[in-house]
Structure 1
Amino acid sequence: MDIRQLTLEDFDARAELGMYAFQYRKSTEELEKEKQDFKPERTWGLFAEEQLSAQLTLLPLQTYIHGQVFEMGGIAGVATWPEKRRQGLVAKLLEHTLQQMNEAGQSISFLHPFHFPFYRKFGWETYIEYRKYTIPTNKLPAKVHVEGTIKRGIRDLELLNAIYEKYAAHYNGTLVRDTERWERKLPSGDELFTAVYYNPKDQACGYLIYEIADQKMNIKELVYLDERSRQALWTYIANHDSMVTEVNLQAPINDALPYLLNDPRIEQQVVPYFMARIVNVKHFLEQYPFTVGKVESLSIRVNDSAAEWNNGIWDVLINDEGKAKVSRREALPEGLQQDLWDHSDIDTDIQALTVALIGYKRPLELCSWGKWTGKLEAVYILESRIPVATTHLMDFF
């Protein structure tokens, strides 16, 4: 077996495997356009007897965590032929990709799973859920008069991104978007509409991306920076009540819309979405913005069966500014008993450590469920030093 990055000559084999695995077909013209945009260096393949047997795409992305930008490896397009399944090929690809991300300095990774239990075996864990709403027009938020203006048809990507960045930085796990991602979000000539809210000072403070079809408004993105922009955009949505019978959208898990509605009995779903895993414990912890406070130290034993460089006991010293110095416990000092040297304050695995630091679950919750074990005093340290935040993601890859 050979694992390598694809070349342009591998495009046809990659396309055939992708279309078969994900059950779609593309025309010759569509494939030719895709070939022109193909970045072979982002796709890794496992070859058996010189035939492409499994593949995945590794995207160099960035994500916000507590307002700070982290390098992130996004995994997509994992596929293998049915006759090659259950032979450990994808496992080999994932382990290889973890090494590539580690060497590239991508300290965290996200993926959208076809099957959550499968990726848990390799250290990824659910990090985000979102709310999915279906709202009849007669239950939409009440229309209110808001100072400012709504301008429809705005496709200034730089302006939209400026609003998005302020919004996204308040969440953990949102993507830093480049022009290429925005162009995929709003391709020219498509049927998506946009609307931007400008406050009385003519500052753009919110936007809407949506489509209207079959008397339904499907909202792709609803982004607002304050209460006034939220009210203005919802009033704009409600003004379509003569055109549509329902509105569909996705919202952050902590969204307060049902509470704010006059009648909160709308159709709601909580949908598990993406998974995450820390790729390099030391690098992630040393970049992580802990809350300010007194100087505190603790040790964490991490179990990571897919990335051996994370295994072991990590001694963590958090300074008064919230920066951590992290060292892996190595050789036993002379004169110290082995059982004392092997002691750690917290024992956990890479999944539970990830969801705590990214803000999906809190340390005390994880301790109560047995996901973390050890000294309660150490758990309380991290409970107080890990900032409270909500995970959210408005993109797909």
Structure 2
Amino acid sequence: MEIRQLKSEEFEASLSLSEYAFKYKVAGEERAEEKLKFKPERVWGVFEDEVLGAQLTLLPLQVYIQGRAVPMGGIGGVSTWPENRRQGLVAKLLSHTLQTMNEAGQTLSFLHPFLIPFYRKFGWEVYCEYKKYSIPVDKFPRKTEIQGTVKRDSAGLDTLEELYSRFAAEYNGTLQRDADWWKRSVLDDQIHHCVFYSKLGEPEGYVLYKLINNELIIDEFIYLNEVARQGLWTFLANHDSMITGASLKQVPSDDILPYLLPDPRIPQENYPYFMGRIVNAQRFVENFNFRPVNNLESRTLYIEDEHAPWNNGLWLWTVSEDGAATLSCLEGEKASAELNCTIGTLTVLLLGYKRPGELARYGQLKANPAELEWLEKVIPQAKTALFDFF
């Protein structure tokens, strides 16, 4: 058995496996285009006698953490032939990929799970969710008189990118997009966009949307202030003679739009989305900004991580007066630690998806009341989101 990156001549083997596993077919010109876009160095495979048995794609991405871009390994396209399943091939592939990401300095990894319990076994944990709304046109937000203008299908990519980046950086776990990502994964021929400009001419929000079957399909609703939000909704509401309603997807979980509607009783859904995993706990913690404390304070932390042995074990976690932290390896057993959790729990704790108290309440974090109080004090409040898919 060999685990390695694919070669350019193995495109057909890779695509055939993906087609079978994900039940789709690429033919004709589209297949030729896929071959041109194929980046074999990003695809890792398990081979037996040079026959591809399982594969995944490892994308070198950046995500916002505390407003700063952090290297992240995005995992996608995990697939195995049915005759090779339940033989541990994906487990070996994931362990190898963790080592690869660690060596590349990618302190985080995200993936979209086909089955959440499967990836939890390897240390990934749900770190964000999104809301979906269906709003009949007669329940739209009220139209308002706004000082500003909305322009449709005229803004450049640089305007959309600037607005997106400012909005996305307010959340942990959002993707930093480059121009290629925008063109390949966000925009397409069906998408319209509208941008709200203040009375001074400054762009302050945008909507990406489609008109399908008499409905507004809203892919992204980005705004920097309340005036922009109201101005964009007024523009959307002016479609009332053309549509029956609007569908909003991948709305951040902290959104309160239903409360702001004249009638909040609309169909809505919360959907657990991507999973995240700290790849290197020491590097992640030491690049994280904690809340300042009165004096230099330390706690012992036992991290359970059987698939990344460089994380597994007892650590001394120190936070200084200015919020800087260190994580120093110690000799010792789990029983001697003041804090104890899995790498998945540590991930959602530091990203801000869950707070220490609730994780402890349900047995995900082991700590006595004094240590919980310390964690609540030093870990900043945060919110998580992701508006993309890979």
Q: What TM-score do the two structures reach when normalised by structure 2?
A: 0.97
Is the partner of 2:18 in helix, strand or coil? Answer: helix
SS in 1 for 2:336: coil
Corresponding residue for residue 209 of structure 2:
210
Rounded Cα–Cα distance in structure 1 between residues aligned with 2:367 and 2:208: 47
Picking from 337, 341, 352, the partner of 1:344 is: 337
Amino acid at match of 2:347: T
Which residue does 1:333 correspond to in 2? none
Q: What CA distance in whole angstroms lies between the structure 2 residues aligned with 1:327 and 1:28?
A: 56
1:364 lines up with 2:361 in the alignment: no
Equivalence for 1:322: 323
Counterparts of 1:324 and 1:156, CA distance in 2:
41
Query: What residue is the counterpart of 2:307 in the other structure?
Result: 306
Match for residue 383 of structure 1 among 352, 363, 376:
376
Q: Name the residue aligned to 1:53.
A: 53
SS of aligned partner of 1:165: helix
Per-residue deviation, residues 356-376 of structure 1 (Å, max 9, x unmatched)? 101110011111111111332
2:24 aligned with 1:24? yes
Correspondence for 1:269: 269
Does the Cα contact within 8 Å between 2:155 and 2:195 map onto a contact in 1? Answer: no
Distance (whole Å) between structure 2 residues aligned to residue 215 and residue 289 of structure 1: 47
After TM superposition, the structure 1 = structure 2 runs for residues 79-118 of structure 1, keeping only pairs within 5 Å, are 79-118=79-118
**Partner SS state of residue 309, structure 1:** coil
Contact persistence 2:54–2:80 (CA under 8 A): yes
State whether residues 149 and 197 of structure 2, in contact with CA within 8 Å, keep that contact through their aligned partners in structure 1. Answer: yes
Whole-angstrom CA distance in 2 between matches of 1:272 and 1:32: 35
**CA distance in structure 2 between the aligned counterparts of 1:237 and 1:314, rounded to whole angstroms:** 53
- Percent of matched pairs sharing the same residue: 50
Alpha-carbon distance, 1:145 to partner: 0.8
Amino acid at match of 2:84: K
Question: Is the Cα contact below 8 Å between 2:137 and 2:244 reproduced in 1?
Answer: yes
Aligned to 1:292: 292
Q: What is the CA deviation profile of residues 32-88 of structure 1, one whole-angstrom value per residue up to 9, with x for unaligned ones?
A: 111111111111011112111100000011111121221111000000111111111
Matched residue, 1:193 = 192
Task: Give per-residue Cα distances to partners, 1:117-141, cap 9 Å, x unaligned.
Answer: 1000100011111110011000010
String of CA shifts for 1:318-350, please: whole Å, max 9, x gaps: 1122111111113xxxxxxx78x9621101111
Aligned equivalents of 1:36, 1:351: Cα separation in 2: 37
**Runs ≥4 in structure 1, deviation > 4 angstroms?**
none
CA-CA distance at 1:184 after TM superposition: 1.6
Return the letter of the residue paired with 2:184. R
**8 Å Cα contact 1:300-1:345 kept in structure 2:** yes
Which residue in the other structure is 1:229 paired with? 228
Q: Which amino acid aligns with 1:278?
A: I
RMSD of aligned C-alpha atoms?
1.3
What is the aligned partner in structure 1 of residue 282 from structure 2? 282
Aligned pairs (5 A) from 1:152-163: 152-163=152-163
- CA separation in 2, counterparts of 1:353 and 1:379? 13
**Equivalent residues of 1:66, 1:387 under 8 A apart:** no
1:186 and 1:192 in contact (8 A); partners too? no
Please report how far the alpha carbon of residue 155 of structure 1 lies from its aligned counterpart in structure 2 after TM superposition: 4.5
Counterpart contact for 1:301–1:344, Cα < 8 Å = yes
- Corresponding residue for 2:245? 246
Structure 1 residue 124 corresponds to structure 2 residue 117: no
Distance 2:182 2:155 in 1: 10
Give the direction of change, closer, same or farther, for the CA distance of 1:342–1:267 in structure 2 (3 Å limit). closer
The CA distance in 2 between the partners of 1:313 and 1:240, in whole Å, is 59
Give 3-state SS (helix, strand or coil) of 1:232's partner.
helix
Q: In structure 2, how many angstroms separate the alpha carbons of the residues matched to 1:246 and 1:27?
A: 36
Structure 2, unpaired ranges of 5+? none
CA deviation map 1:291-328 (0-9, x unaligned):
22323211110001211111111111111221111111
Number of corresponding residues: 388
Q: TM-score scaled to structure 1, two decimals?
A: 0.95
Is 377-386 or 80-89 further displaced after alignment? 377-386
Conservation of the 8 A alpha-carbon contact between 2:285 and 2:327 = yes
Find the aligned partners of 1:311 and 1:185 in 2 and give their Cα distance. Answer: 36
Structure 2 Cα separation of the partners of residues 352 and 187 of structure 1: 34
* Structure 1 residues 155 and 6: alpha-carbon distance in aligned structure 2, compared to 1, 3 A threshold: farther
Shift of 1:186: 4.7
